[in-house]
Amino acid sequence: MEGIRCSSVLSCYYSSKTHFKLRHQALEHCFLSLPPPPPRHPASRPKVRISLPSMALQVQDQQSFHKSKEMLPKIDKSGRFCSPRAARELALLIVYASCLQGSDPIRLFEKRINAAREPGYEFDKASLLQYNHMSFGGPPVTTHSVEEADELLRSDEQDSAIEAEVLSAPPKLVYSKLLLSFTRKLLVAIVDKWDNHVLAIDKVVPSNWKNEPAGRILELSILHLAMSEITVLGTRHPIVINEAVDLAKRFCDGAAPRIINGCLRTFVKDLAGTSTAQTSNSKLEVPLQV
């Protein structure tokens, strides 16, 4: 399979990139060009607004500032990620990059796995301890000084630099062998069910997403990832939906997490209805008497 075939909702996946390039610069830099990207998606970066009466500064909160160290990703004895969340994140970013390039996600994954390291390249494993898979953009908060707002901005830029370093590093240095195997299974499932899930996605996504598929590649990739894990790998749907919503909170903006939650719940409901109908039909079949 030379590349993901596109039709219906995904027919514009490989067309104009202007809109979504602005929305997902960090991901493109990590997977299409390795130099460190600018701070990630503007929706999750602190934004300063000045209220003239009080001169208080409104900033977009990074929940990573308020989350405890207990939310840090799990690291195995070799110092690599061993949490399934990390594998799903890697699979999502590979699919996203393959859509931008018009390439096969499995081949892209293998290419990244087997890519030779640049001379003199060194990966700081300490960045894995600072990387937070649960870092989401939150509601606005108020700071009472320019210094406090600047500190939040500096912290966010540091988080973005860590994210860029981790996501652009050779996967074998970041993910355990078990996670890399799980990631490949997810990608194989996505490719195997791509055409079927294009039709399923067409039924559940809102009309405005259908009208701008080139600007919704990341959101649609999350749906493909979740649907494939449910139907092929058989992971319990509450777990998959929760993971998909968290990925949307982390990498998407606006109402995407809520919409993805609704789309997947409708998808699961339709699956259950189809399964029930097939069971009923099989019971109605009467064996021929010979």
Write out the chain's pLDDT in tens, 290 residues: 545 544 333 333 333 333 333 334 445 544 444 333 333 443 444 443 433 333 333 333 334 333 434 444 578 988 999 999 999 999 999 999 999 999 999 999 999 999 988 888 888 888 998 898 877 766 676 778 888 888 888 988 888 899 999 999 999 999 999 999 999 999 999 999 999 999 999 999 999 998 888 889 999 999 999 999 999 999 999 999 999 999 999 999 889 999 999 999 999 999 988 766 666 665 555 555 54
Q: How much is the pLDDT for 211?
A: 87
Q: How much is the pLDDT for 133?
A: 83
Cβ atoms 272, 205 nearer than 8 A? no
Largest CA distance in the chain: 91
Q: How much is the pLDDT for 214?
A: 86
150/198 Cα distance (integer angstroms): 44
Q: How much is the pLDDT for 236?
A: 96
287/290 Cα distance (integer angstroms): 9
Q: How much is the pLDDT for 204?
A: 95
58/49 Cα distance (integer angstroms): 5
Q: What are 261's two structure tokens?
A: 């939650």
Q: Which helix (H) or strand (E) holds 140?
A: strand 137-143
250/73 Cα distance (integer angstroms): 14
223/260 Cα distance (integer angstroms): 7
Q: How much is the pLDDT for 22?
A: 36
**Residue 247 CB burial class (10 angstroms; 0-12, 13-18, ≥19):** buried
Cβ atoms 275, 283 nearer than 8 A? no
Q: Where are the alpha helices (DSSP H) in 82-216?
A: 84-101, 105-114, 126-130, 146-168, 171-174, 177-204, 207-211
Fold that domain 75-275 belongs to in CATH: N-utilizing Substance Protein B Homolog; Chain A (1.10.940)
